[in-house]
Structure 1
Amino acid sequence: MTVKLLAMYRRPDDVDAFLTHYRDVHVPLIEAVPGLAKLVVNRVDGDLMGGPAPYFLIAELHFADETIFEAAMASPENRSAGKDVMTFAKGLVTMLKVHED
């Protein structure tokens, strides 16, 4: 069963600075996390129910199973990515653990 970490980001004040840091610094840190099977980064286009979208960017980190996910979360590489996210997205990010049915 695939396990995912969803990182959902609200719109930052400086979109360009956020995206530059995300792409140039944060993504390479995420890609170094052991056991990561796939990274999907989604830009939110809008809320189909009307009104403003609650999120600006949603990242999906895919892991093959629970054991691999837990090992990845405990890794030094993931700790580095976690420290980094607090430097550019503190107060903007919500993280969820989900699985595919």
Structure 2
Amino acid sequence: MAKRLNNQSTVGDVLKQIIQVNKLQSGMDGINVKEAWQNLMGNGVNSYTRNVVLKGSTLYVELTSSVLREELSHGKSKIVAMINEELRRDVVKEVVLR
């Protein structure tokens, strides 16, 4: 059974506890990375993005444009840095563009 929290806990603390106890962090990271991709890349890139999936610490991005894929491949390290900065922790270590 989970540790009981006192009545002085904030909602944020309770949610963090629930996520930790139920091992939901990897799923939350996947959702957060998708949102970060959409916010950082803007409408131009998002219109050519088919799918964004986080597996472990690797971000797989499926694009419909080979030209855009080639252009983004030159800035993979910058994409990793921008997403990790947006999430305020190191979640993504590598980006694979398909």
Task: State the TM-score, normalized to the length of structure 1.
Answer: 0.39
Q: Which has the higher contact order (CA 8 A, sep 6+)?
A: 1
Choose between structure 1 and 2: higher strand proportion: 1
Larger radius of gyration: 2
Choose between structure 1 and 2: higher helix proportion: 2
Task: State the TM-score, normalized to the length of structure 2.
Answer: 0.40
